[in-house]
Amino acid sequence: GQQVMQIPQYQHVQEGEDFTTYCNSSTTLSNIQWYKQRPGGHPVFLIQLVKSGEVKKQKRLTFQFGEAKKNSSLHITATQTTDVGTYFCAGGGSQGNLIFGKGTKLSVKP
Amino acid sequence: DSGVTQTPKHLITATGQRVTLRCSPRSGDLSVYWYQQSLDQGLQFLIQYYNGEERAKGNILERFSAQQFPDLHSELNLSSLELGDSALYFCASSDSPMASGEQYFGPGTRLTVT
């Protein structure tokens, strides 16, 4: 079935460093969504990208959707301790469901 | 608070047993999704209901079933439980039948099978 691969699985950074997580699909996605799950919490929607090559920014977070709509990235500039958590991408599949990547767990050392 | 409620928060049961997890979607949302989150498996999509009808099916085992009632709340039934079914089960809701809108997740039910 359709899969969305996400790398890296873990990322440890010093506060102030940048962070990037990548998602790749073997098939074209109708859209890509990003979620953040804090430790002990539930996934919370961050953003959705729909158009080929789309770039969206939310303060220190930059989201990109690839030209072929098969990959996406989330970049955080100057990480803070509040950025700690697991970041999931989720691609729109052919059945109309969301296919989640396994997530990137971010830890930030103060 | 996402507006999605799930009960119970925790459930401990023995192998071979059957349990029911309950979810109430956000007011106005017609779609309910069920996900299983195990330690190394991320979020596995199980099943989606839209306005009472099954809309999409993921990697849901035959021992698992779900339904959505006329008041739009949903239940996930897990039977003949195995140790490997221990996981966090999330319910999410959205106002769209397609995976093209924001999904609001509930707090989850942590199931432990002993």
Please give the interface size between A and B, counted as residue pairs whose CB atoms are below 8 Å apart: 68
- Strands annotated E in B19-68: 19-24, 31-38, 42-50, 53-57, 64-68
Model pLDDT for residues B28-69, shown as the tens digit of each residue: 999 999 999 997 668 999 999 999 999 988 889 999 999 999
Q: Mind telling me how many Å the CA of A49 is from chain B's nearest CA?
A: 10
CA separation, residue A101 to residues A38, A76, B19, B65 (Å): 16, 18, 28, 24
Residue B100: what pLDDT? Answer: 67
Lowest mean pLDDT among A68-82, B69-83, B91-105: B91-105
Q: Do A48 and B100 touch (CB under 8 A)?
A: yes
Q: Mind telling me how many Å the CA of B15 is from chain A's nearest CA?
A: 25
Q: Do A95 and B56 touch (CB under 8 A)?
A: yes
Model pLDDT for residues A8-28, shown as the tens digit of each residue: 999 999 999 999 999 999 999
Top pLDDT among B15 and B99 is at B15
Model pLDDT for residues B75-97, shown as the tens digit of each residue: 999 999 999 999 999 999 999 88
Q: Is the peptide bond before A8 cis (omega within 30 degrees of 0)?
A: yes
Residue A41: what pLDDT? Answer: 94
Residue B40: what pLDDT? Answer: 66
Task: Provide the pLDDT confidence category of residue B18 given band limits of 50, 70 and 90.
Answer: very high
Instruction: Fill in the amino acid letter for B107.
Output: P
Q: Do B99 and A93 touch (CB under 8 A)?
A: yes
Overall average pLDDT of the A68-90 stretch: 97
Query: Between A44, A92, A101, which is nearest B100 by CB?
Result: A92
Residue A86: what pLDDT? Answer: 96
Give the closest residue to B89 by CA, choosing from B29, B3, B17, B22: B22
Give the closest residue to B50 by CA, choosing from B67, B27, B63, B26: B67
Two tokens, residue A108:
């930030």
Distance CA A99, CA A17 (A): 29
A68: CB partners within 8 A, 6+ apart = A28, A52
Overall average pLDDT of the A47-76 stretch: 97
Two tokens, residue B67:
């339904």
Distance CA B50, CA B54 (A): 6
Q: Do A48 and B33 touch (CB under 8 A)?
A: no
Two tokens, residue B91:
């319910």
Residue found under tokens 């949302």: B29
> In this structure, how many other beta carbons lie within 10 angstroms of the beta carbon of residue A75?
15
Residue B23: what pLDDT? Answer: 98
Q: Do B43 and A93 touch (CB under 8 A)?
A: no
Residue B96: what pLDDT? Answer: 85
Asked if A103 has any chain B CB less than 8 Å from its own CB, the reply is yes
